[in-house]
Structure 1
Amino acid sequence: MSFAAHLHSTFPFKDVWSTYLADAQTYFPVTNSRLALLLLVNIPIIAIILNVIWQLIVPRNPTDPPVIFHWLPIIGSAISYGNDPLKFFFACREKYGDVFTFVLFGRRVTVALGPKGNNFILGGKSTVLNAEDAYKHLTTPVFGKDVVYDVPNEVFMEQKRFVKVGLSTDNLRAYVGMIEEEVEEFLKHDASFSVYQRNDINEWGSFDVCKVLAEITILTASRTLQGREVRQALDKSFSELYNDLDGGFTPLNFLFPNLPLPSYRRRDRAHVKISEFYVDIIKKRRAGGSQHEPDMIEALMQQTYRNGTSLKDHEIAHIMIALLMAGQHTSSASGSWALLHIAANSEVAEALYQEQVKYFATPDGKLRSMTYEEVRSLPLMDAVIRETLRLHPPIHSIMRKVRDDVAIPATLSAPSKDATYIVPKGYYVLASPAVSQTDPLVWKDALKWDPYRWSDPDGVAAKAFDTYADEKGEKIDYGFGAVSKGTDSPYQPFGAGKHRCIGEQFAYLQLGTVLATLIRRMEFHIDRVPDHNYHTMITMPKTPRNISYRRRKFD
C-alpha cells in the first residue's frame, strides 16, 4: 500500500473536507465571514492531519528514542497516560522496549522503565537530570520560597538533614503513644463511627476509608511532627486553609501552574496565612512563651547551615508546610489501600488481630499499648504495609528535566551495538517504580495482594527489600546522612537516590500504629478493593470505597 493510500485509510480527510464544504454551502452565504468560519472549523482537522504526516514521513535521528504515535498535536498521549499510566507504560514497553518518548501537553517525556531505568534517572547527576526544574513550578506556590525545589540541590540536601534530626529515634519512641491516643479519640467522637460508639458488637456500620484515613493522618501527624499548637488549631480555621492549599497540589497545577482560576487564588491566600501561622508559633517559642513536646519545629529552630547561617523563620515555616502536605497525602493514601485490602481478606485480617493478641494481650483479656520497638517488630503488619506499598505506591511517575544532552546506557536500551539513545536538553525523563513493582517478569502473581510473599527469605520480595533497605543496601551520603541508594531495586516505594523520602521510618511507624489500633478495636469487611483513580496527584482508590465495620467483642 502506498503512503497516500495508507494515510487515506487511516484518516479519510478528503471525505471529511468534502462533507464540511457541502454543509457550509447549504447553511452559509458566500461571504468572507463564511470563509473565515470554514477555516476556523477545519483548523483542528488540518492540525491533526499535519501532525500525522509529520510523524509518518519525517525521518528520525537514529539516536532519538522512539516516539509514541499520537493523533492530537500538543496534547499527545496525555489522555492514555492520564487515565491509566501503568497500562500505558506496559503497552508501550511491549511495542518499543524499555525506553521511549511520549508527548504530554507539549512536553517531550522520555521514559526509562525497569530497575535499570530507575537507576539511570533516580541515580543520575542532578546537574543533568534535575528535579528542581521539573517540580519547582508545582511545589513553590504550595510549600513556599527558599525550601525544597525552590533552592539549589545542595541547600535542599542540608534541609533534609535538618528534618532527619527531628525524626530521631527518641522522638519516634514518644510518637507511638500519641498516635494511638489520637486514633482512639477519633473513634470515640467522629460521626463515621456512631455504631462503634454505641458499643453494639452485633451492628455493622460503614465509613469512607479515604475520608477517615485523611483525617486520622493529619491528626496524628500534627500531634507528633507538627506540634501541639498545630494540633489545637485543627479544630478551627486551619482545616479550611489546609483544604484551600491542598487544592493547589493537583495534576492541573503541575501542567499549568499559573491559571487565573479561583482555586489558584485560594491556594495563594492559604499559603500566606498558614505561613504566618507557623511564623507566629516560632516567634512565640523564641520569646520563651510556649510550652511544647519534642517536635519538628523545635528541631529546626536549632539547626544551622554549613556556612553558619541559622534557618530563617519563614524557611522553618515552609519546611513545616512541605512536611504537612507531602506526608499527609502519601500516608493517608497508603493507609486507605492497606485497610481496603485487610477488609477484603478476612484471613489476613484475623491473622493481624491474632498477632496483636500474641504480642500485647494482658491477663484480663485486654490489649495493652504498644511501644516503638514492638510496632517495628510485628512481622505480618510489616508485610502488609510493604505489600500495600508495592501494589499501590503513592506516586506512579517521577520526573526530572534534562539540562544537557544525556546518553542512555546501552545496557538499558540502544538502537544498535555501536550507538546509544540520546535524550536532548529540554526534554523530561520519567522513571516509574510502580512498573517495576508490578512487573510480571519480576514478581509472581504481580497484581495479587499477597503479604506472605515477604516472609520467604529467599524470595524476590525479600531480595528486593534487602537491596532497598537502609540496613542492608549500598550506602551513600548525599548530604543528609548515609542512606541506602536503592536505585537498583525493583521495590522503591519511597523513591530512591538523593531524593528518596527521608520520612519513611515515620511513615512505617505511623501506618503500623494506626492500623494496629484500628484492627484491635474493629472487624472490617468489603466485597472488593476499588480500582485506581489516576486523576489525582497521589494514586487513590475510586469510589465507592466504603468499608463496613463492627466493634470487636473483647474491645
Structure 2
Amino acid sequence: MNSSLPIIQGHVATALHVAQDYVVANPIRCAVLAVLYSPIIAIILNVLRQIVIPKDPSLPPEVFHWLPIVGSAIQYGSDPLNFFFKCREKYGDVFTFVLLGRKITVALGNKGNNFVLGGKHTSFSAEDAYTHLTTPVFGKDVVYDVPNEVFMEQKKFVKFGLSADNLRSYVGMIEDEVEEFMKNDGSFLIYQMNDINEWGRFDVTEAMSGLTILTASRTLQGKEVRDGLNKSFSELYNDLDGGFTPLNFMFPNLPLESYRRRDRAHAKMSQFYVDIINKRREGNSDTDHDMIAALMDQKYRDGRSLRDHEIAHIMIALLMAGQHTSSATSSWALLHIAHDQAVQKALYEEQVKYFGAGEGKFRPLTHEELRQLPILDSVIRETLRMHPPLHSLMRKVREDVPVPPTLSAPSKDGTYVVPKGHFVLSSAYVSQMDPLVWSKPNDFNAARWSEPDGAAAEAFRVYSDETGEKVDYGFGAVSKGTESPYQPFGAGRHRCIGEQFAYLQLGTVISTIIRKVELRLESDKVPDHNYHTMIVMPKKPRNICYRRRNFN
C-alpha cells in the first residue's frame, strides 16, 4: 500500500500540471466553463456533504435538500402543511431544514408547541427572530424592538384599552360600520338592487380588508383616525403594508423602491398619530375613551410615561397586525358560510331566535349576547382551526437547548440539542389539521365544537385552561395554552392580547352580514391557501355572490 503511494502522487501531480497548462492556454474558455458548471458543482458538493460526511448524533436529523443555501425554501414556502407532514413521516416530530441559509429546527405536535412557545424567553427569543421585519413597519421602541420585559409592559397597557366597558361600546360601532359599508361600498350596494332575486358579487378579501380597517379605526384607533380615513391614508397604509411580506422577513435591507416607500409611509403615519396626541394634550379634541387615551394614561414600572412616538408606534402595530389577521379570518369564515348552505341557514335562524323583531327586523347586538351564540361561536372556532392566520411561529435560539426525550426519540448519545444560532419553529397549523387528533380534519365541520366529549372540546379546554390555572408574564394572568393542539391566537407569553376583541369583531361582522344577505360561492369549492403572504389568505378567484334576503 505504501509502495504505491509515490506512483499515485506522481499521477496527481502530472494531472495538475496538465490542468494548469490548459487554464493558462485557454483562460476565457475556462472562465466560461467555471461559470456554467459552478452551480452544478455546488449542488454535487452539497449532496456529498449530506451523504458522505458523518452527522453529529446530538443534532436533530436534517431534511435532505438539493440546492445549497436555498435548502427547502421552495417546498416550505409553497405548501408548509404538506411539507411538515411529509417530514414528520420521515424524520419524526423534531427535524431541521435549511431556509435560505438559516437552520430551522421544527418541533411538531402538542409537545412541540409547548417546547417552543413554552420555552424560556432567554433561550428562545421572538425579538431576535422578528425585529428585522416588524421594526421598520411598527417603529422603534415597541413590540420586538425592546427587551421582552418592556414588551410585556406594553401589552399590559394595551389591555387597559380593551376593558369590558369599551368592548361593550364597540359592538354597536362595528354594527353601524358594517351597515354603512354595505350601503355605500362598491362591493355590496345591496340597497341599489331593485330585483329581490338579483345577485351581486364581491371579492371577499378586498371587501373584508376595507371593512376591517373601518371597524378597527372606529373602535380601537379613535375618532380622529376614523375621520381621517381617506385616499391619502389608504395609500400610506398600502405602502406600509408592502413592507410586511415574506421577502422583507428573509431579506430585511434590499435596495428596492417598496422598502423606501415603506420607510416614508412609516414616518408619515407616525407623525399622523403624534399630531393627534399633541392636539389632545392641548385640549383640542373631544373623543371617546379609546386606545390612544388609554395609552396616554399609562406609566412603566420605573414611573415614566409612554413617549409620544411609543404611543404612535403601538397604534401602528395594532392597526397593521389586527387588520391582517381579522380580514383573513372573516374572509375564510364567509367563504365557508357561502359554501355550506346548512351552516348559513343555522346561523340566520340563530340570529332570528336571539335577536329577531319580526318581518326581517332585528334588535341591536350586544357584547354579552354575542358570547352566547353557540353556532356563531362554532363557525369562528372551526374557521380558525382550518385557517390560522400564521402557519409557523419562530424563535431564535440564544443558547444550546436540549430537546426533551418525551418530544422525540433520543439520539445515540443522549437527547438532541438545538444549537445556539438556529431558529426553532412550532406550527399550530399542523396540530390543528392533524388526523391523529381530529376526525376528518380537512372537512369544515362547525358541529365538532358542540360535542362535549370530542377532540375539539378537549383542545379548547386545554387552550382556555378551564381549571383556572393562569400565568402572568407581565401583562396580566392568561391561560398558557402551550400544550393544546388548538392555538388560534398563539400561546404562552406571546399569546395575542386582542383575542376578545377579535371574537367580538368577527362575530359582529358575520352576524350583521348574515342578517342582510344570502350568500353562495361563485365557484364550486372554497379557494386554496395563498402561502406566499405573511398572513395566509385565500387564493383568487375568491368571489362570493349575494342577494338581499326576502322577508315577505
TM range (shorter): over 0.9
CA distance in 2, matches of 1:452, 1:96: 34
Q: Tell me what 1:22 maps to.
A: none
Give the whole-Å Cα distance in 2 for the aligned partners of 1:554 and 1:214.
Answer: 29
Match status 1:102 vs 2:130: no
Name the structure 1 match of 2:133: 138
1:468 aligns with 2:463: yes
TM-align CA RMSD: 1.4
Distance 1:487 1:91 in 2: 24
Structure 2 counterpart of 1:530: 527
The residue type equivalent to 2:365 in the other structure is M
Q: Distance in 2 between matches of 1:359 and 1:441?
A: 37
Distance 1:372 1:533, change over 3 A: same
State the match for 1:149 in structure 2: 144
Q: Does 1:218 align with 2:213?
A: yes
- Structure 2 gap segments, 5+ residues each: 1-21
1:93 pairs with one of 88, 97, 107: 88
The one-letter amino acid of 2:82's match is K
Structure 1 residue 99 displacement after superposition: 0.2
Structure 1 CA distance, aligned partners of 2:34 and 2:412? Answer: 49
Q: Which of these residues, 286, 299, 323, is aligned with residue 291 of structure 1?
A: 286
Aligned twin of 2:18: none
Contact 1:113–1:436 (CA<8 Å) still a contact in 2?
Answer: yes
Evaluate the alpha carbon distance shift between residue 365 and residue 396 of structure 1 in structure 2; reply closer, same or farther with a 3 A threshold. Answer: closer
- The one-letter code matched in structure 1 to 2:311 is I
CA contact (8 A) 2:133 2:252 kept: yes
Q: Look up the match of 2:3.
A: none
- Distance in 2, matches of 1:199 and 1:109, equals 57
Q: How does 1:122-133 map to 2 (within 5 A)?
A: 122-133=117-128
Q: In the alignment, which residue of structure 2 is the partner of 1:166? A: 161
Compute the displacement of 1:471 (Å): 5.0
SS at match of 1:154: helix
The Cα shift of 1:362 comes to: 1.2
Superposed CA offset, 1:82-111 (max 9, x none)? 000000000000000000000000000000
Please say if 1:238 is aligned against 2:233: yes
Q: 1:411 to 1:400 in 2, by over 3 A?
A: same
Please show how residues 544-555 of structure 1 align to structure 2 within 5 Å.
Answer: 544-554=541-551
Q: 1:47 aligns with which of 30, 42, 46?
A: 42
Partners of 2:224 and 2:276 within 8 A in 1? yes
User: Which AA in structure 2 matches 1:198?
Assistant: M
Shift of 1:374: 1.0
Q: Would you say the 8 A contact 1:166–1:295 is kept in 2?
A: yes
> What letter corresponds to residue 302 of structure 1 in structure 2?
D
1:62-88 deviation line (CA, Å, top 9, x unaligned)? 110000000000000000000000000
Counterpart pick for 2:69 among 61, 74, 83: 74
Unaligned runs of at least 5 residues, structure 1 = 1-24
TM superposition shift of 1:239: 0.8
Q: What code does the residue aligned with 1:123 have?
A: G
Higher mean displacement: 186-195 or 91-100: 186-195
**Conserved in 2, the CA contact under 8 Å of 1:201 and 1:550?**
yes
Compute the displacement of 1:243 (Å): 0.2
Task: Name the residue aligned to 1:334.
Answer: 329
Q: Secondary structure at the match of 1:413?
A: coil
Alignment-mate amino acid for residue 251 of structure 2 = F
* Aligned mates of 2:53, 2:309 — CA distance in 1: 52
Report how far residue 200 of structure 1 moved: 2.9
Corresponding residue SS for 2:42: helix
User: Retained in 1: the 8 A contact 2:359–2:551?
Assistant: no
- The answer to whether the aligner puts 1:176 opposite 2:179 as a matched pair is no
8 Å CA contact 2:209, 2:323 repeated in 1:
yes
Moved more, 516-525 or 33-42: 33-42
Percent identity for Structure 1 against Structure 2: 72
CA apart distance, 1:191: 1.2
CA shift for structure 1 position 258? 0.3
Is the 8 Å Cα contact of residues 227 and 295 (structure 1) preserved in structure 2? yes
> In the alignment, is residue 343 of structure 1 matched against residue 338 of structure 2?
yes
- 1:9 is aligned to none
User: What is the SS of the residue equivalent to 1:523?
Assistant: strand
Asked if the contact 1:473/1:485 (under 8 Å) is kept, the reply is no
Q: Which residues in structure 2 correspond to 1:55-454 (within 5 Å)?
A: 55-363=50-358, 365-416=360-411, 419-454=414-449
1:415 CA displacement: 3.1
- Matches of 1:199 and 1:293, distance apart in 2: 39
Mean CA deviation greater in 473-482 or 486-495: 473-482
SS in 1 for 2:526: coil
Query: Hey, what's the Cα distance between the residues in 2 that align with 1:210 and 1:531?
Result: 13
Q: Distance in 1 between matches of 2:418 and 2:191?
A: 57
Q: 2:116–2:424: 8 Å Cα contact kept in structure 1?
A: yes
Q: Is the 8 A contact 1:467 1:473 kept in 2?
A: no
Q: CA deviation at 1:170?
A: 0.2
Instruction: Classify 1:457/1:301 alpha carbon distance in 2 versus 1 (closer, same or farther; 3 Å).
Output: same
Stretch deviating more after TM superposition (234-243 or 160-169): 234-243
For residues 524 and 387 of structure 1, the distance between their equivalents in structure 2, rounded to whole angstroms, comes to 19
TM-score (norm 1): 0.94
Give the residue type in structure 2 aligned to 1:295.
D
Change (3 A) 1:236 1:529: same
3-state SS of 1:249 partner = coil
| Aligned CA distance change for structure 1 residues 450 and 202 (closer, same or farther; 3 Å) | same
Q: How many residues align?
A: 528
Number of the residue aligned with 1:3? none
Q: What's the CA shift for 1:221?
A: 0.3
In structure 2, distance between residues paired with 1:38 and 1:416? 43
